Structure 1
Amino acid sequence: MPEQNLIIKGREIVEDDWQVLRLAEGEDAETVPVPAGKVIVPLQVWLSQRAALEARAEIGVWIASDERPEALKGELDRFGVVAVDFPKFTDGRGYSIAYNLRTRLGYKGELRAIGDVLRDQLFSMHRVGFNAYATRPDRSIHDALKGLTVFSETYQASVDEQQPLFRRHHREAQPAGGDAGYGI
């Protein structure tokens, strides 16, 4: 299997049967043709061509880092996949988009990271709600999979763990006059 047709879903490498539609320079969201099959379209294409696309059973949407997921409020359950684009490794806005999709908008389906997705990001992406990852094609997806298991414990609460560490672990009573950090 060529690696460009593979994604990480959950904690497994699987074949990707979706294609991501990206607009070429000069193409317009209102007129770009959407190919048949399982397609993840840009948010602007969905908003511009909703009447034609909502009849399709297998359609997904992707959100750019400068777009708001609230534009899909009330429609999220109809998508087989919602993806968030990371245009470059240093652009972290996609983390907030994913967190808001899961916590504020209640999206329960496949939430996929696309774009400049690298091993170093996967653990943090999982924490905010991603459950699928289309890693950069010039990097090993098998190596990237290891990024989901680099830490065994987390301190903060997030989408993947509702309780912070101090609430998850039983501590013994602190002795009188003891160290303020006792039991941590």
Structure 2
Amino acid sequence: MQRIIKNNQVIDETWHLLDKDATLDGLSNCDDLIVPLQLWRDHGHALKARDGGLGVWLDADEQVEEIADDLAHFQVIALNFPNFADGRHFSSARLLRERYGYKGEVRAIGDVLRDQLFFMQRCGFDAYAIRPDRDPYEALESLNDFDEVYQAAADQPQPLFRRRQS
């Protein structure tokens, strides 16, 4: 069983992440599923009628604007990083939190490494599926790499100079 980092602790994964080419055939009615965007587009009505939890995952070339009207249906939004150098979903996480006010879980999936976690957290991620060849406990330590931040971000809306004026 895969272990993920969620809310600053390592836990067993309970959600099933479906492949990009998944179909409705054979899906359990009660499992917690994270479905690819295309499956949501094609079968959103049927997926909403299921008993299990529902999440959606976006590939790096897919925009959060495509699901903005449907955010209330998702407990998890997973953003895929196809490689560690592709940072497009840092902006997606900020949009989900700041523009759309999404309060559910925002999860990083794909080529997710320790060095990215602190900055992902600043953008609004609260769960991370670390690459299987990496240690999630070692990666968890990176969330405490820095004691103070200067800039405003999703996790701290005021910059340091404004906080010090208070």
* 1:102 matched to 2:94: no
Q: Which structure has the bigger radius of gyration?
A: 1
Quote how far apart the aligned CAs of 1:32 are.
5.6
CA deviation profile, 1:139-171 (whole Å, cap 9, x unmatched) = 001100011110111110011001111111149
What pairs with 1:121-160 in structure 2 (closer than 5 Å)? 121-160=116-155
Instruction: For residue 123 of structure 1, give the secondary structure of its aligned residue in structure 2.
Output: helix
* 1:33 matched to 2:25: yes
Q: Distance in 2 between matches of 1:39 and 1:61?
A: 8
Partner of 2:2: 5
* 1:42 matched to 2:36: yes
Matched positions, count:
163
Quote how far apart the aligned CAs of 1:45 are.
1.0
Is residue 156–residue 163 contact of structure 1 (8 Å, CA) maintained in 2?
yes
* TM-score after normalising by structure 1: 0.84
Equivalent of 1:113 in 108, 118, 122? 108
Which structure's residues are more often helix, by fraction? Answer: 2
Instruction: For residue 74 of structure 1, give the secondary structure of its aligned residue in structure 2.
Output: helix
Instruction: For residue 41 of structure 1, give the secondary structure of its aligned residue in structure 2.
Output: strand
Q: Distance in 2 between matches of 1:67 and 1:157?
A: 26
Instruction: For residue 46 of structure 2, give the secondary structure of its aligned residue in structure 1.
Output: helix
Q: Distance in 2 between matches of 1:77 and 1:104?
A: 14
* TM-score after normalising by structure 2: 0.92
Query: Aligned Cα RMSD in Å?
Result: 1.6
Q: Which runs of 5+ in 1 are unaligned?
A: 172-184
Is residue 70–residue 105 contact of structure 1 (8 Å, CA) maintained in 2?
no
Counterpart of 1:15, as a letter, is: D
Q: Which runs of 5+ in 2 are unaligned?
A: none
Quote how far apart the aligned CAs of 1:34 are.
6.0
Partner of 2:158: 163
